[in-house]
Structure 1
Amino acid sequence: MASANDPFQFQEFEEAASLLEADRDATTITIDDEDTKAEKQRIAAGFIPDGDDEDRLASDDKTELLSGQKKSAPFWTFEYYQQFFDIETHHVRERIIGSMVPWPRKNFIHVYLRRNPDLYGPFWICTTLVFAIAISGNISTFLGKLGKPNYKYTPEFGKVTIAATAIFSYAWLVPLALWGFLLWRNNKAMNLVTYSFMEIICVYGYSLAIYIPAVVLWILPYEWLRWCSIMVALCLSGSVLVMTFWPAVRDDHPKMIIATMSAIVVLNTLLAVGCKVYFFSKPETLIPVEHAPAAEVIKTTHAAATHST
Structure 2
Amino acid sequence: MATVDDLKFQEFDAAANLLAANPDATTISIDEPGEKPKKKHGILRNSGREEDDELLGTDDSDKTELLAGQKKSAPFWTFEYYQTFFDVDTYQVLDRIKGSVFPVPGKNFVRLYIRSNPDLYGPFWICATLVFAIAISGNLSNFFIHLGQPTFRYVPEFRKVSIAATAIYAYAWLVPLALWGFLMWRNGKVVNIVSYSFLEIVCVYGYSLFIYIPVAILWIIPQKALRWVLVMFALCLSGSVLVMTFWPAVRDDNRRIALATVVTIVLLHALLAIGCLV
TM-score (norm 2): 0.74
Return the offset for 1:161: 0.4
Match of 1:123 in 2: 124
1:215-246 deviation digits (Å, cap 9, x = unpaired): 11111011121111011101000000000011
Match of 2:271 in 1: 270
1:229 lines up with 2:230 in the alignment:
yes
Match of 1:70 in 2: 70
- In structure 2, relative to structure 1, the CA distance for the partners of 1:67 and 1:171 (3 Å cut) is closer
Match of 2:200 in 1: 199
Number of aligned positions between the proteins = 213
> 1:119-268 alignment to 2 at 5 Å?
119-268=120-269
Letter paired with 1:171: A
Letter paired with 1:126: C
- In structure 2, relative to structure 1, the CA distance for the partners of 1:94 and 1:149 (3 Å cut) is same
TM-score (norm 1): 0.67
Return the offset for 1:66: 11
Structure 2 Cα separation of the partners of residues 217 and 148 of structure 1 = 23
Q: Greater CA deviation, 160-169 or 222-231?
A: 222-231
Structure 2 Cα separation of the partners of residues 76 and 227 of structure 1 = 45
Which has the greater radius of gyration? 1
SS at match of 1:159: helix
Match of 1:113 in 2: 114
Aligned 8 A contact 2:215 2:234 in 1: yes
Match of 1:96 in 2: 97
1:248-307 deviation digits (Å, cap 9, x = unpaired): 001000111111000100000000011111xxxxxxxxxxxxxxxxxxxxxxxxxxxxxx
Structure 2 Cα separation of the partners of residues 260 and 237 of structure 1 = 16
Structure 2 Cα separation of the partners of residues 177 and 245 of structure 1 = 13
Structure 2 Cα separation of the partners of residues 78 and 158 of structure 1 = 34
Letter paired with 1:173: L
Return the offset for 1:147: 1.3
Letter paired with 2:92: H
Cα RMSD (Å): 1.5
Match of 1:26 in 2: none
Letter paired with 1:190: V
Letter paired with 2:159: G
Aligned 8 A contact 2:193 2:249 in 1: yes
SS at match of 1:240: helix
Aligned 8 A contact 2:137 2:220 in 1: yes
SS at match of 1:173: helix
Structure 2 Cα separation of the partners of residues 170 and 211 of structure 1 = 14
